Amino acid sequence: MKVLVLDGVAREGLQKLENEPGIVLDITKTVPEDQLIAIISEYDAVIVRSATKINKKVMSYAHKLKVIGRAGVGVDNIDLDEATRQGILVVNAPGGNTISATEYTIAMMLALARNIPQANTKLKNGEWDKKAFMGTELCTKTLGIIGLGRIGSAIAKRAQAMEMQVVAYDPYIAEKSVISTDIELVDLDELLERSDFITIHTPKTKSTRHLLNTEAFSKMKDGVRIINCARGGIVDETALYDALRSGKAAGAALDVFEEEPLTNSPLFELNNVVVSPHIGASTREAQIKVAADVANEILATLKG
């Protein structure tokens, strides 16, 4: 059986699959869609990160494909309806990058609170400008976590260690699951009204698209800071831009965008916006863990 591995999935995590008798791995970087279409019919399984889109067109050429593996959490680059229609299983590696994404979100929150990227740029450009970078402490501030799943709850633990007050909104988890954690479960409006920092950790779905829109911003505290290291489009970028321009929001830290890759945006022109190119899960540890997790899933499927 042949497995195509794309998008630079970490080879160290694929050893079990590589050593399995009867399985041949072809490992390559991301290829353009026309090249993928030309070769996909040879493969029983394909493993991708987020760059390759396994859409309806690609699947229509994938005559032998039994399983698609996503080395990571979000499967929005795979057409799930079409996969279901064709009887192709889709597996992912939901827990492998939790710690990396969590630590990255905390790093973004601190960078935002203390203007670290801006100070770094200014000093490297030859300016010793202490006055420009008055920051804010996290201690005693309220952090609103939208989506209290794997990453959201790991963030809560770390924020509490920094003596932040944590409130969370997640309509799909039970009150009793947070009873011993000092996390207050609230509805969305209350979270918006009370939080000094708001961080998003939901998947991108029809119900979370533009969850933070103009109306949501109008309910927030003046001077709120927004962090989105989940998925682009959960925050309405136009509404965020307006909130930042008007002073309603004091800053934003964004690792994800509605359109990716993105190299130009009105948001990039604002000094109180910290951005990065979707690198929340970019650590060696996470890449090896997600590759190993997805390889196990693929192996289990191919072996029946």
For ligand NAD, which residue of 229, 239, 243, 252 counts as binding (CB under 6 A)?
Answer: 229
**Inter-residue contact 175 to 185 (CB < 8 Å):** yes
228 counts as binding ligand NAD under rule CB under 6 A: no
144 counts as binding ligand NAD under rule CB under 6 A: no
Strand bridging mode 45-48 / 2-5: parallel
Distance in Å, CB of 290 to ligand NAD, minimum: 9
The Cα 267–Cα 241 span in angstroms is 6
Q: Sign (positive/negative) of CA torsion 117, 122, 125, 128?
A: negative
- Compute how many residues bind ligand NAD; rule: CB under 6 A: 32
Q: Looking at 14-22, 34-42, 63-71, 225-233, which segment touches ligand NAD (CB under 6 A)? A: 225-233
231 counts as binding ligand NAD under rule CB under 6 A: yes
Among left, alpha and beta (phi > 0; psi -120 to 50; other), residue 189 is: alpha
Binding pattern to ligand NAD, positions 9-28, x when CB under 6 A? --------------------
What DSSP string runs through 259-282? SSS----GGGG-TTEEE-SS-TT-
Residues in the chain: 304
Q: Looking at 34-42, 57-65, 142-150, 191-199, which segment touches ligand NAD (CB under 6 A)? A: 142-150
Restricted to residues 77-96, the positions that interact with ligand NAD (CB under 6 A) are: 94
Restricted to residues 40-69, the positions that interact with ligand NAD (CB under 6 A) are: none
248 counts as binding ligand NAD under rule CB under 6 A: no
Residue nearest to ligand NAD according to CB distances in the complex: 149
Q: Write down the number of H helices and E strands in the chain.
A: 11, 12
Structure tokens at 297: 């899933």
Restricted to residues 174-203, the positions that interact with ligand NAD (CB under 6 A) are: 201-203
CB-nearer residue toward ligand NAD: 130 or 206 = 206
Structure tokens at 13: 């995590």
